[in-house]
Amino acid sequence: TICSVLLENGVDFAAVDENGNNALHLAVMHGRLNNIRVLLTECTVDAEAFNLRGQSPLHILGQYGKENAAAIFDLFLECMPEYPLDKPDAEGNTVLLLAYMKGNANLCRAIVRSGARLRVNNNQGVNIFNYQVATKQLLFRLLDMLSKEPPWCDGSNCYECTAKFGVTTRKHHCRHCGRLLCHKCSTKEIPIIKFDLNKPVRVCNICFDVLTLGGVS
Ligand SMILES: [Zn+2]
Ligand SMILES: [Zn+2]
């Protein structure tokens, strides 16, 4: 194999370039699916290593992934089912948020299908719900894909309007996306048949639209 040839020639899989990228970071950056397969299955490269910009190979995929990014993502999960999908880079971006900001719809879909959390904020408070894009169509499609009730999150501020929770501003959850919201941002109720919630439950405005329009914005 390529790997054993490299090993016989004394290639060090812990080696990194001047930016702290290991062989897997670089293979992902250039979209080399076959090299990635070899690195993930036959080599001892650290698949979760952070480079000097605080990015793992999966963050690189979110930032630089092209047409085959979804295939690379699936390969990662096939080889490493426990790969930490929601781990943020140094700027707080998850692979999903990076892919979303790059508009890589196929990669976003693969990530959401695998059960990654949708609502993670980066260090600037940006997430896939509030990131400014020309159309919310991709967000709608991703929410429409949710097949089971996501775990509820906690926090001290509303995920939508950032109001601080306290005695007068109580915490609520959208039963569809799991976001923590104030009353004002979660006034609508609707049954969520796909979650077996047959009575109306509290949802956010975006999820209400998704659930009534079926993922078409
Ligand atoms: Zn709110
Ligand atoms: Zn929601």
pLDDT at position 98 over 70:
yes
Task: Tell me, in angstroms, the distance from the centre of ligand 2 to residue 20's CA.
Answer: 38
Q: Which is nearest to 127 in space by CA: 99, 104, 155, 146? A: 99
Q: What is the arithmetic mean of pLDDT over 186-192?
A: 96
**Above 0.90 for ipTM, yes or no?**
yes
Task: Give the pLDDT confidence score for residue 7 in this predicted structure.
Answer: 57
Q: Is the pLDDT of residue 177 over 90?
A: yes
- Stretch 14-29: mean pLDDT: 91
* Residue 53: closest CA among 13, 17, 20: 20
Regarding predicted confidence, which is higher, 134 or 109? 109
Place 8 in a pLDDT band, splitting at 50, 70 and 90. low
Would the pLDDT of 215 be above 60?
A: no
Reported residue count of the chain is: 217
What does the pLDDT read at residue 6? 61
- Helix 69-79 crosses helix 33-42 at what angle (to 10 degrees)? 10
Per-residue pLDDT tens over the stretch 110-163: 999 999 989 889 999 999 999 999 899 999 999 999 998 887 778 999 999 999
Query: Phi, psi at residue 204, to the nearest 5°?
Result: -80, 170
Ligand at minimal distance from the CA of 170 is 1
Q: What percent of the chain has pLDDT over 70?
A: 93
pLDDT number for residue 11: 63
What domains are there in the chain, each with its CATH number?
1-133 (1.25.40.20), 136-217 (3.30.40.10)
Residues 173-203 as b/e (b if ≥16 CB within 10 A, e otherwise) read bbbbbbbbbbeebbebebebeeeeeeeebbb
Ligand number nearest to the C-alpha of 211: 2
Distance 184 CA to ligand 2 centre (A): 13
Lowest mean pLDDT among 5-9, 102-106, 109-113: 5-9
Strand 197-203 and strand 172-173: the pairing is: unpaired
Please give the distance, rounded to the nearest whole angstrom, from the Cα atom of residue 158 to the centre of ligand 1.
5
Q: What percent of the chain has pLDDT over 90?
A: 80
pLDDT at 2: 59
- Give 28-51 pLDDT, tens digit per residue: 999 999 999 999 998 778 999 999
What integer best gives the mean pLDDT of the chain?
Answer: 91
Note residues around ion ligand 1 (Cβ under 5 angstroms): 158, 160-161, 163, 182, 185
CA distance 162 to 169: 11
How remote is the CA of residue 138 from the centroid of ligand 1, in Å? 23
For residue 1, pLDDT over 70 is answered with no
